[in-house]
Amino acid sequence: MSVRYRDISWRFLKVLHRDVVVAKRLWKVNFLVPLLEPAFYILAFGLGFRTLIGDVDYAGLKLTYVEFLAPALIASAVMWNSFFETTFGSFVRMYYQKTFDGILATPVSLEEIIVAEMVYAALRSTAAAAIMVAVLTPLGFVAFPACLLIPLVAFLGGMVFAAAGMIFTGAIPTIDMFNLPIFLFITPMFLFSSTFFPMTDVPVWGRVLSWATPLYHVVELTRGLALGAMDSDPWVSLAYLLIASIVLGDLALRSMKRRLVK
Amino acid sequence: MVKRYGAITAVKGVSFCVPRGEFFGLLGPNGAGKTSLIRMIYGFSPLSEGELLVFGKDIGTQWRYIRSRIGVCQQDNTLDPDLSVEQNLHVFAGYFNMKPAETRSRTDELLEFFALQHKRRSKVMDLSGGMARRLVLARALINNPELLILDEPTTGLDPQSRHQVWDRLGALRERGLSLLLTTHYMDEAASLCERLLIVDHGKALVEGSPQELIEEHAGRNIIEISPAPDGLLAFLEAKGAAYDDLGDRIVIYAGAESGLEETLRTRFCIDQCTIRPAGLEDVFLRLTGRGLRE
Ligand SMILES: Nc1ncnc2c1ncn2[C@@H]1O[C@H](COP(=O)(O)OP(=O)(O)OP(=O)(O)O)[C@@H](O)[C@H]1O
Ligand SMILES: [Mg+2]
């Protein structure tokens, strides 16, 4: 079953609206995680690791380890939020709740449902990033007013991870098998995409691998906006994320259509 | 219409036509292909072969137009458990691009029509089976459809709830609604539908009004005799009578014309013998066999 782009209209906003109505019911839980998560990391690394790790050289700046880490926490929250939403979240709606089946009896196309799911996931990333920026800016870890652009980066990055998650949702037979892509892709990205250590001392092959991951580009852009300087070219990273969201988005639509059109 | 799932052909060329305003029923054993047919009609599944027009429009290209004018109650429960009763209707109205004012008035109207006002803010999970089914029906009517498609709307309901649903559907008939219904309840089909199509193994078997089908395929009365007395089978063969031999029981379909019924009553009703008017269930079992499906 091929993807029909002409079947995508603004009606996808109605499906998005559904997800937002549900999110509002759970807003307290949804807000708590991005609010507390950076606090935990900063406490752990700021207090616990302070004596173990010295300063970090990044893009000509001399940073404490926590200053280096804080923007990357925002970037990885972007990844986790949208990837979880289009894997576990969408799978439950698709498979257990049959929400998509119900919607397919109305003048909404499957393409619109999938687009709405991905946009919703990206918006969750955006909201998480915005909350974290609101926590980290007054603490001095994120520069004002450039930080106001971080949610935009979060949305774009969120679309990339949402699409990646959706590809697996279309392909995976049972819900517990999501552990596999998480173990194989998400966790390594979380650890090796210049999140916890700068790329300067890493051998070339490591740098290339890291560069190839979307998280690296989200981390770099977030760091650039938070610190006012970055190691790489922001336009390259933006282009990477834009292209990745389009390519992966198309693959996600294909994957879900193959699964759901019977 | 033909529908294939990989190597399985679930629908092997079925044709039918439902005129506007008619209540039309699809009957068939488990796995006959009813849901497959229905899913093609509302554009959930693409046709493997064939042509399908709804309101005179092609489902392949005009699906959005068609779906905005129909209401569907699927066989599986697709109510949104994340939303309350009222929110289920509101959100669904959104998919049809309904205006907020219209959505509110229509929601109130339907909650009242299906006696669900008191559950307005309940979670869907907390509804009984009957109430959930009524909510599915209410949701299917949110857009004031011209055609209502119901896939086993009353399965699992108690007699009270089923009668309530039938009453509501009867009221909608007065307003000119068309209905396409599948059911395993013969009394439901006989009392609601003007015309029926019996399908089995993906093929259409017979089509007609419940009365026509009964007269044509089950006769007037059914005579069940058990165990079969000597000479009964030979007698039935000689008369060319229609009957099913179930081993311990003989089911005879007695038409109005022959004096068969009278003869059987006097000559063969020795031990256990029941005579009752023929019904749709007799037609169904006779045409689709008594073997278990799937
Ligand atoms: N998505 C699917 N993939 C593969 N086979 C399917 C699929 N859906 C239905 N079938 C098969 O097609 C045949 C017809 O199924 P269908 O659901 O249309 O029957 P039905 O008449 O609705 O049965 P029931 O009364 O049990 O609901 C069955 O053999 C079923 O196993
Ligand atoms: Mg069915």
Q: What is the ipTM of this complex?
A: 0.90
Does A21 touch chain B if contact means CB atoms closer than 8 Å?
A: yes
Per residue in B25-35, pLDDT tens?
Answer: 999 999 999 99
**8 A C-beta contact, residue B91 and residue A113:** no
Pocket test for ligand 1, best of B3, B9, B34 (most atoms within 8 A of CB): B34
Collapsed DSSP state (helix, strand, coil) of residue B10? strand
Q: What's the whole-number average pLDDT of chain A?
A: 92
**Reported pTM:** 0.93
CATH class of B220-278: alpha beta
CB distance A256 to A87 below 8 Å: no
Q: Which long-range contacts link B162-171 to residues 24+ away (Cβ below 8 Å)?
A: B162/B188, B164/B115, B164/B130, B164/B134, B165/B133, B165/B134, B165/B137, B166/B191, B166/B192, B168/B113, B168/B114, B168/B137, B169/B23
Fill in the amino acid letter for A211.
W
* CA distance to B210, B223, B266, per residue, from B252 (Å): 19, 5, 15
DSSP state string for B246-286? -SS-EEEEE-SSSSHHHHHHHHT-SSEEEEEE--HHHHHHH
Torsion sign, CA atoms B124, B125, B128, B132: positive
Shortest Cα distance from A85 to chain B (angstroms)? 15
* All residues with CB under 5 Å from ion ligand 2: B 34-35, 75
B109: CB partners within 8 A, 6+ apart: none
The number of folded domains in chain A is 1
Domain with CATH 3.30.70 in chain B: 220-278
Q: How many Cβ atoms are within 10 Å of B112's Cβ, its own excluded?
A: 11
Q: Which of A17, A99, A107 sits opposite B67 (nearest CB)?
A: A107
Q: A88 CA to chain B: closest CA distance, Å? A: 15
Ligand 1 contact, B246 CB (< 6 A): no
Query: Mean pLDDT, to the nearest integer, of B253-260?
Result: 75
Inter-chain CB proximity A102 and B64 less than 8 Å: no
Q: Which residue segment(s) compose the domain that A90 sits in?
A: 5-260
- Ligand 1 atom with the smallest distance to the CA of B5 is 4
Q: What CATH fold (topology level) applies to the domain B2-213?
A: Rossmann fold (3.40.50)
Write the pLDDT tens digit of every residue in A193-219.
988 888 888 899 999 999 999 999 999
Residue B294 scores a pLDDT above 70: no
Across the interface, do B78 and A99 touch by the CB < 8 Å criterion? yes
d(CA A150, CA A126): 8
Q: Please state which of the ranges A40-44, A47-51, B99-103, B193-197 shows the lowest mean pLDDT.
A: A47-51
Partners of B81 on chain A (C-beta within 8 Å) are: 97
Separation of alpha carbons B41 and B62, rounded Å: 12
pLDDT digits (tens, 9 = 90+) for A147-169: 899 999 999 999 999 999 999 99
What integer pLDDT is reported at residue B267 of this predicted model?
80
Q: Is residue B220 pLDDT above 90, yes or no?
A: no
The residue with greater pLDDT, B114 or A49, is: B114
For CATH 3.40.50.300, the residue range(s) in chain B are 2-213
Candidates A224, A170, A219, A227; CA nearest to A197 is A219
The helix (H) or strand (E) run that includes residue B236 is helix B232-239
A258 touches chain B (CB under 8 A): no
Q: How far apart are CA B1 and CA A247, in angstroms?
A: 36
Label residue B258 by pLDDT band (50, 70, 90): low
pLDDT in tens, B36-45: 999 999 999 9
Per-residue pLDDT band at A53 (split at 50, 70, 90): confident
Distance from B288 to chain A by nearest Cα, in Å? 26
Contacts of A98 in chain B (CB under 8 A): 74, 76-78
pLDDT confidence tier of residue A36, bands split at 50, 70 and 90:
confident
Token pair for residue B293? Answer: 């499906």
